[in-house]
Structure 1
Amino acid sequence: MVWFIVCAFLGMLLLSTPISIVVLATTAGAVTFFLDVPLTALVQQLFRGLDNFLLLSIPFFILAGNIMAEGRIAHYLVKTMDACVGRFRGGLALAGILTCMFFAAISGSSPATVIAVGSIMIPALIRSGYSERFSIGLITSAGTLGILIPPSIPMVLYSLVGNTSVSDMFMAGIVPGVVRVVIFGAFAVYMARRFNWGATSSHSLVETLRILGRASWGLAMPIIVLGGIYSGIFTPTEAAGVSVVYALLVETFIYRSLTWEKLRVILTKSAVLSSALLFIIACAMPFIWLLTREQLPVQAAEFIAAHISNKYVFLFLVNLLLLAVGCVMDIVTSILVLTPIFLPMLDHFGIDPVAWGIMMIVNVEIGFLTFPFGLNLFVAMGITRRPLTYIARSVMPFLLLLFLCLLMVTYIPIISTWLPSILR
């Protein structure tokens, strides 16, 4: 049955079959040909897969992110970061990175971050004298912070499948996210000073305070969401609902950027994306049930334990596998399909599930910048009107930095576990 699952899965992927159909059809074929189980069991698993209170947070976080992307919060974030660091050489590039970090903490979406920040920052960087290729590569790559900085939909999915705390996962992503911001920022400043890119800007203290005051409504969003979760005021799912209400109030009554037509577009876009994600989740749950029922993850763990005794070799090989998977499979399916397979191996090698989850998310998020599922590449292509190959070459230096961050998260797990352990 294992060979049937592998061949059917890869064969349908090569035929460009939608990933949800691939997972469901593979499960149905395995049940039909190898198990004495009626197909009605798949329907039951489809229903049970969506019968989870935690999944309510996904459409809410998507809706909040789209509201922010269509509103004025990104504009004020850019002005705030420029006022804070724009006076230094390379300051505008730093402002772009910091804006991506804060907007990611608000929206939780990598493509939304690239759209909202990139449409403002890429032209601004080019006008200030930065190389076009550097500007495109910087913002396209920094947009991947949307996966690592909470709230993050992949973290919610990993918590659902891996039976870990959403709060711990949210906190575990903060330090790796900040480390990556520091690495990206150091590289941006080095390049700006080496090639004398970018004119510096200066703001008076009064003007800076005025900009901070105007942007404070957007900056307060992650504080409200994460503070509410860790203070026990509301659960992560309720925090997602709070983020939607807060975003609507800020964009409607303070920034006055939402119109009925914009709201209709936002609701339509959010409904389509939420439906697609939830359908993939529903189709993946019977596959997870099949793996668990036949104890395939346990068998895989026993096979690996018999052939690999060194934890670091195991982590290295898993990283290679996940990088390859990220090139051919989207991040949602990667987490849903691979997490149950690897979980039994964590106890054998003494790996913390939270640190593993962050490593896995950092790994598969690189797929946003690689062919053929590099969604950020396509988004940047739409913003800049540049060919896809040009965008791909632009992100190459930043891919090397992402690999460095991946190695740090993999082999220095305290980067991920330090903050959750303190707050726990």
Structure 2
Amino acid sequence: MSAAASNVSPNPRTAKITFGILGAVVAIMGAIGGAAVALVVALALLGMPLFAVMGGATELAWLLHADPDQQVFRRLAPEVFGSRFAGSPILTTIPLFTFVGYLMAESKTPERLVRTATAWVGWLPGGLAIVCVLASAVFTLFTGGSGVTIIAVGGLLLPALRQKGYSEKFALGLVTTGGSLGLLLPFALPLLVYAMVTGLDFQLVNKAVIAPGLLVLGFFVAYSAWIGTKEKIPRTPFDLREALSSTWAFKWEIGVFVLLVVCILTNTAEIDEAAGLVALYTLCIECFVYKDLSIKKDLVRVAKASMALAGAVILILAMANSLTSYVVDQRLPDRVLEAMLRVGLDKTWQFLIVMNLFLLVLGMIMDGFSAILVAVPLILPFAAHFGLGPFHVAIMFVLNLELAFSCPPMGLNLFISSFRFNRPVVSLYRIAVPFVGLLAAALLVVTYVPRLSNALVLGDIQEWRDRAAREHRTPREAWRLECVQQDPSNPLPCSEEDKKNFPNGQMPEPAAAPTVVNDAGAAPSGEEEDIESLISGKDAGAPKAEAGTNPESEDDLEGLIKGGGGAADAGADAAPKKPAPVPGHETEDELENLIKGGH
């Protein structure tokens, strides 16, 4: 048996511990969810393909549904072929980006990338280690997978780091954990998948991730510089001619990123169309410009390998989408939230701790895409309850994946590095601890300083607010970007000020015009008098008799009958009436009046 083979021989004690931990996990899940859940978890831990685990778990869940009408197999298909999933441009983007990554990994792109980075930053303390950090991050961004980066860039740089004088512990730990650094950079595939699942604007996610991504890279660069100084690693003098020459040799690969950014930012092409252009461009430069690959010898092999990986990813996404539908339909997050509140986990900082631990464990037992699809419907209702921002949650998701990939005992990067460099996986646990500590420190900063995650999109949020103010409507688009919404189709205010200004998420009602109420007993207006006169048959505007008097006395009536004018005529006061003459004693004037028919 060779030395290499002896290095990877199984350790009985380690195997016993591992199986003991797995058995405890299965027992705990069985106690919580029952025999069906224990069976699904056991099959997953024993190595059943992940898409089969998710699809089978979904079907089993529907078949055990309490409502007999729901116990059917067909509940799986509608969610897989629905427009939300099957019509998403991400399904085209994933295989195209995967093809680009495989083309670069099979060519001499890693060598040109390392040469360029060495020429520009190799003169710094820990220069070659910093080159490893930057090269790993950029290559992971291009390829979308940490495993490809460890094999391509790590395999190239590990011997160089050892030759330069770095300790094996540091060099191996750096290439192992550096493979996932590019996941928290713009246009990384996990961000693309997260934006698809949550409905976030992909361009805004790419902008928001810049500050947290630079923070993580800054931690690793600072640690590499400190190690370089501590271990007294000689520096490489800066040579401007070499820096320009290496950059010129790498210019065509730089064009890949430039083409993608220009297409997206200028809206020249959608994300899937831009991915197609980038794939065609990469194929042309690798086969016809650099001539690292041959159309006849290499293209079919590279295409088959990349499409096999992309197909597996899409199949996992489809099954995870069906499982997500069941979780949402049965309101499982609401039940978990109620249980958390009952046990006293009602503070935001408490929820953040629980969420990070959950995502860390999930990221160690699943690939990144599946972890996002499974965790998003579980986490978002809690995030909405505690008022977390969508970009804050997105950055925590992806940073937890970076940490989980390198975290003992089940981090994916540890197993890939063990395979690539012929080291027992348990020997990498202690080596990875300092770098895991750096990622954990970055996660703490991102978790408890949420402003870092949306600092670069605050201007976009304000633009939506200004537009809503100009159009005299609620800033619904801004609310979607400020906090996770329970119902994205009906966003509600996030801040206390907005809750006060927009009750129930609606525009405030305009103040009612004051109503003038007449005092009791007040005389009606002139208009009202005219209407009353018309109803009573009187002339509009005619003066009224005083209250308590009869408008026509008996004398007036007598005068009217005789043809005379009444006292009420024209509204004048009645003239004083003379006493009637005594019969037989009339004067000459009175007799004359009687003869004439007057008074």
TM-score bracket for the superposition, by shorter chain length: over 0.9
**Distance across 1 between alignment mates of 2:435 and 2:120:** 24
Q: CA deviation at 1:420?
A: 3.3
Q: CA deviation at 1:395?
A: 1.6
2:73 is matched with which residue?
39
Q: Specify which of 262, 281, 285 is matched with residue 250 of structure 1.
A: 285
Q: Residues 382-401 of structure 1 correspond to what in structure 2 (within 5 A)?
A: 382-401=419-438
Q: CA deviation at 1:53?
A: 2.4
Q: Specify which of 42, 58, 62 is matched with residue 27 of structure 1.
A: 58
Percent of pairs with identical residues: 31
- Contact kept in structure 1, 2:62 and 2:75, CA below 8 Å: no
Matched, 1:3 2:33: yes
1:179 is matched with which residue?
215
Partner of 1:17, secondary structure, is coil
Q: CA deviation at 1:401?
A: 0.5
Partner of 1:164, secondary structure, is coil
Closer/same/farther in 2, CA of residues 331 and 312 from structure 1, 3 Å limit = same
| Larger-Rg structure | 2
- Contact kept in structure 2, 1:328 and 1:372, CA below 8 Å: no
Matched, 1:323 2:354: no
**Distance across 1 between alignment mates of 2:93 and 2:226:** 40
Gaps of 5+ in 1: none
1:357 is matched with which residue?
394
**CA offsets 1:293-351 (integer angstroms, 9 cap, x no match):** 22222333344355332111110111122222223222222111110011112222111
**Distance across 2 between alignment mates of 1:308 and 1:288:** 24
**CA offsets 1:19-56 (integer angstroms, 9 cap, x no match):** 22222112111211214222122122232243422221
**Distance across 1 between alignment mates of 2:98 and 2:183:** 13
1:297 is matched with which residue?
333
1:286 is matched with which residue?
322
Q: CA deviation at 1:85?
A: 1.4
Q: Specify which of 89, 99, 122 is matched with residue 135 of structure 2.
A: 99
1:149 is matched with which residue?
185
Closer/same/farther in 2, CA of residues 394 and 263 from structure 1, 3 Å limit = farther
- Contact kept in structure 1, 2:55 and 2:319, CA below 8 Å: yes
**Distance across 1 between alignment mates of 2:324 and 2:333:** 10
- Contact kept in structure 2, 1:228 and 1:234, CA below 8 Å: yes
1:407 is matched with which residue?
444
Q: CA deviation at 1:8?
A: 4.4
Q: CA deviation at 1:371?
A: 4.9
Matched, 1:377 2:405: no
Closer/same/farther in 2, CA of residues 207 and 330 from structure 1, 3 Å limit = closer
**Distance across 1 between alignment mates of 2:451 and 2:256:** 27
Higher mean alpha-carbon deviation, 183-192 vs 236-245, is at 236-245
Q: Residues 260-271 of structure 1 correspond to what in structure 2 (within 5 A)?
A: 260-271=296-307
- Contact kept in structure 1, 2:194 and 2:394, CA below 8 Å: yes
**CA offsets 1:183-241 (integer angstroms, 9 cap, x no match):** 101111111111213x3223532222111111122223223212321221222222222
Partner of 1:115, secondary structure, is helix
Closer/same/farther in 2, CA of residues 26 and 161 from structure 1, 3 Å limit = same
Q: Provide the aligned length of Structure 1 versus Structure 2.
A: 423
Matched, 1:85 2:104: no
Partner of 1:227, secondary structure, is helix
**Distance across 1 between alignment mates of 2:100 and 2:333:** 36
| Runs of 4+ with >6 A deviation | none
**Distance across 1 between alignment mates of 2:110 and 2:444:** 31
Partner of 2:258, secondary structure, is helix
Closer/same/farther in 2, CA of residues 305 and 421 from structure 1, 3 Å limit = farther
2:163 is matched with which residue?
127
1:220 is matched with which residue?
255
Closer/same/farther in 2, CA of residues 354 and 265 from structure 1, 3 Å limit = same
Q: Residues 109-120 of structure 1 correspond to what in structure 2 (within 5 A)?
A: 109-120=145-156
Higher mean alpha-carbon deviation, 145-154 vs 56-65, is at 145-154
- Contact kept in structure 2, 1:108 and 1:151, CA below 8 Å: no
- Contact kept in structure 2, 1:323 and 1:363, CA below 8 Å: yes
**CA offsets 1:259-318 (integer angstroms, 9 cap, x no match):** 232222211111110111111111112211111222222333344355332111110111
More helix by share: 1
1:314 is matched with which residue?
351
Matched, 1:209 2:244: yes
Closer/same/farther in 2, CA of residues 109 and 170 from structure 1, 3 Å limit = farther
- Contact kept in structure 1, 2:137 and 2:180, CA below 8 Å: no
Matched, 1:17 2:48: yes
**Distance across 2 between alignment mates of 1:256 and 1:421:** 45
- Contact kept in structure 1, 2:409 and 2:429, CA below 8 Å: no
Higher mean alpha-carbon deviation, 381-390 vs 239-248, is at 381-390
Letter in 2 for 1:30: A
**Distance across 2 between alignment mates of 1:161 and 1:89:** 42
Q: CA deviation at 1:372?
A: 5.9
Higher mean alpha-carbon deviation, 224-233 vs 340-349, is at 224-233
**Distance across 2 between alignment mates of 1:163 and 1:298:** 21
Partner of 2:48, secondary structure, is coil
**Distance across 2 between alignment mates of 1:264 and 1:224:** 25
Q: CA deviation at 1:113?
A: 1.8
**Distance across 1 between alignment mates of 2:117 and 2:387:** 41
Closer/same/farther in 2, CA of residues 150 and 107 from structure 1, 3 Å limit = farther
Gaps of 5+ in 2: 1-29, 462-599
Q: CA deviation at 1:163?
A: 2.0
Q: CA deviation at 1:71?
A: 1.4
**Distance across 2 between alignment mates of 1:239 and 1:416:** 26
Q: CA deviation at 1:250?
A: 1.9
Partner of 1:232, secondary structure, is coil
Higher mean alpha-carbon deviation, 322-331 vs 186-195, is at 322-331
- Contact kept in structure 2, 1:113 and 1:146, CA below 8 Å: no
**Distance across 2 between alignment mates of 1:374 and 1:105:** 19
Matched, 1:189 2:225: yes
Instruction: Identify the structure with bigger relative contact order (alpha carbons < 8 Å, sequence gap 6+).
Output: 1
2:95 is matched with which residue?
59
Letter in 2 for 1:120: L
Partner of 2:223, secondary structure, is helix
**Distance across 1 between alignment mates of 2:460 and 2:140:** 22
- Contact kept in structure 2, 1:108 and 1:147, CA below 8 Å: yes
**Distance across 1 between alignment mates of 2:81 and 2:287:** 37
**Distance across 2 between alignment mates of 1:235 and 1:423:** 20
**Distance across 2 between alignment mates of 1:352 and 1:376:** 30
- Contact kept in structure 1, 2:355 and 2:379, CA below 8 Å: no
**Distance across 2 between alignment mates of 1:12 and 1:208:** 53
Q: CA deviation at 1:423?
A: 5.5
